[in-house]
C-alpha cells in the first residue's frame, strides 16, 4: 500500500507520519522532495527559493519525483507499506498555484516523471487561515513559507484540485483536531484500503 500525507507547512504531516508509522513498523517512510541523494540537493534548491523561473522550480520538483519513484517507490510497491510526506500531488498543486504552466502539461509531465505511479490514497491535513497564521508565527520561516498565508492557503486549495486532476482518492482531515483524533481517522481510512 502506498499512501501520501499532504498538507501545507505546519499542518502536522511529520507528527502524523510518526504516529501512523508506529502501527506499521516495517513501513517505508519517505518524502517529496528530498528522499534520495539527488533529491536532498533539489530540496535545498527549492526551499531556498533561488529559482527565479517558476518553470525551473516545477522541473526541479519533477526531477526529484522521477528519482524518488525509481529509487524508493517502485522497488517497494506491493511489497511494503509506503508512507510518504507529500507526493506528486504537492508538485501538481504548486504548479497549479503558479498559473504559468498549462494544466494538461502539468498532468502529462507528472505522468512521465512518475511512470503513472501515484498513491492509492491521499490524506490532506487542512488548516484554516487563522490557524495557519498562528502556527507560522511560532517558527522560523523557510523560502516557501515567506510567501505568506494567502499563498499557502492557495496551495491547500490546489492540493484538492490536483487530486481530482490525477484521479486520486482524497481524504480531507481537519488539522485542528487533536493529534490522536487525526491519527485514528487516518488509520480507519487505511483499513478500508485493506478490506
Between 99 and 179, where is the model more confident?
A: 179
Instruction: Over range 53-75, report the average pLDDT.
Output: 92
Comparing CA positions, the residue from 7, 36, 44, 5 lying closest to residue 142 is 44
Distance of CA 50 to the CA centre of its chain: 21
Instruction: Over range 146-159, report the average pLDDT.
Output: 89
Give me the sheet containing 121-126, strands edge to edge: 28-31, 82-85, 2-6, 121-126, 170-174
Please tell me the predicted confidence (pLDDT) of residue 194. 64
Instruction: Over range 91-105, report the average pLDDT.
Output: 91
Instruction: Over range 138-160, report the average pLDDT.
Output: 85
The DSSP annotation for 2-57 comes to: EEEEE-STTSSHHHHHHHHHTT-TTPEEEETTTSSHHHHHHHHHHHTT----HHHH
Please tell me the predicted confidence (pLDDT) of residue 69. 97
- Burial-class residue 14 by CB neighbours within 10 Å (0-12, 13-18, 19+): exposed
Please tell me the predicted confidence (pLDDT) of residue 106. 95
Percentage of the chain with pLDDT > 70? Answer: 97
Please tell me the predicted confidence (pLDDT) of residue 64. 94
Cite the beta strand spans of the chain per DSSP E: 2-6, 28-31, 82-85, 121-126, 170-174
Please tell me the predicted confidence (pLDDT) of residue 29. 97
Please tell me the predicted confidence (pLDDT) of residue 193. 67
Quote the DSSP letter at residue 172. Answer: E
Residue 43's pLDDT band (boundaries 50, 70, 90)? confident
Instruction: Over range 157-180, report the average pLDDT.
Output: 97
Q: Which three cell numbers stand for residue 55?
A: 518553470
Examine the pLDDT at 143 and tell me if it is beyond 80.
no
Instruction: Over range 4-19, report the average pLDDT.
Output: 95
Instruction: Over range 144-173, report the average pLDDT.
Output: 92
- Burial-class residue 25 by CB neighbours within 10 Å (0-12, 13-18, 19+): exposed
User: Structural domains in the chain?
Assistant: 2-194 (3.40.50.300)
Between 51 and 62, where is the model more confident?
A: 62
Average pLDDT over the chain, rounded to an integer: 92
Amino acid at each position: 500500500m502506498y499512501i501520501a500525507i499532504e498538507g501545507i507547512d505546519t499542518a502536522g504531516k511529520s507528527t502524523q507520519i510518526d504516529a501512523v508509522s508506529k502501527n506499521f513498523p516495517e513501513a517505508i517512510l519517505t518524502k517529496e522532495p528530498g528522499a534520495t541523494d539527488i533529491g536532498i540537493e533539489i530540496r535545498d534548491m527549492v526551499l531556498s527559493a533561488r529559482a527565479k523561473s517558476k518553470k525551473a522550480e516545477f522541473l526541479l520538483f519533477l526531477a526529484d519525483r522521477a528519482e524518488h519513484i525509481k529509487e524508493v517507490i517502485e522497488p517497494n510497491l506491493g511489497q511494503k507499506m509506503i508512507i510518504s510526506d507529500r507526493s506528486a500531488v504537492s508538485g501538481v498543486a504548486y504548479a497549479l498555484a503558479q498559473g504559468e504552466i498549462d494544466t494538461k502539461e502539468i498532468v502529462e509531465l507528472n505522468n512521465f516523471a512518475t511512470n503513472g505511479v501515484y498513491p492509492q490514497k491521499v490524506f490532506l491535513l487542512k488548516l484554516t487561515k487563522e490557524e495557519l497564521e498562528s502556527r507560522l508565527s511560532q517558527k522560523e520561516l523557510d523560502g516557501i513559507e515567506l510567501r505568506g498565508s494567502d499563498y499557502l492557503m492557495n496551495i491547500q486549495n490546489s492540493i484538492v484540485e490536483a487530486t481530482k486532476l490525477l484521479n486520486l482518492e482524497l481524504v480531507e482531515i481537519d488539522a485542528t483536531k487533536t493529534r490522536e483524533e487525526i491519527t485514528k481517522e487516518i488509520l480507519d481510512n487505511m483499513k478500508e484500503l485493506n478490506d
